[in-house]
Amino acid sequence: MKMAISAQGTELDSMIDPRFGRAKYFILFDLETNTHKSVENIQNLNATQGAGIQSASLIAKEEVEAVITGHCGPKAFVVLNKAKIKVFIKDGITVKEAISLFKKNKIVEIKEANVEGHW
């Protein structure tokens, strides 16, 4: 299973980016092979609007099944939901720590957006 984590850098030691739509990077992690790669999200970071929608679309193309991020707004959530990507909320720790918590089922899945748009 592949998952995406919104991150402030490109490495597993990078902190989670609290923003989903305007995250600096997404780290794509493969739970079977324990390998990762990062994708830059600069285009959506600088978007005038609709950043959440396009970020969701970007990680959907990578065929991930789950995402860990700090906050998720309503439009991004609708798209992630449509792409059958589960949304998990965690902030203030590194990507590596988040993955390890995720493996232990210690991160909460949300069933609706946890912030308003443009929070």
Which residue ranges make up the site for other proteins (CB under 8 A)? 47-51, 53-54, 56-57, 60, 75, 78-79, 82-83
| 11 versus 63: smaller Cβ distance to other proteins | 63
**Least distance between other proteins and beta carbon 65 (Å):** 14
| 38 versus 55: smaller Cβ distance to other proteins | 55
**Least distance between other proteins and beta carbon 56 (Å):** 7
Distance (Å) of CA 7 to CA 82, 92: 23, 11
**Least distance between other proteins and beta carbon 61 (Å):** 9
Separation between Cα atoms, residue 76 and residue 1, nearest integer Å: 21
- Asked if residue 18 lies in contact with residue 101, where contact means CB atoms within 8 angstroms, the answer is no
Phi/psi of residue 61, nearest 5 degrees: -65, -25
| 39 versus 60: smaller Cβ distance to other proteins | 60
- Asked if residue 83 lies in contact with residue 60, where contact means CB atoms within 8 angstroms, the answer is yes
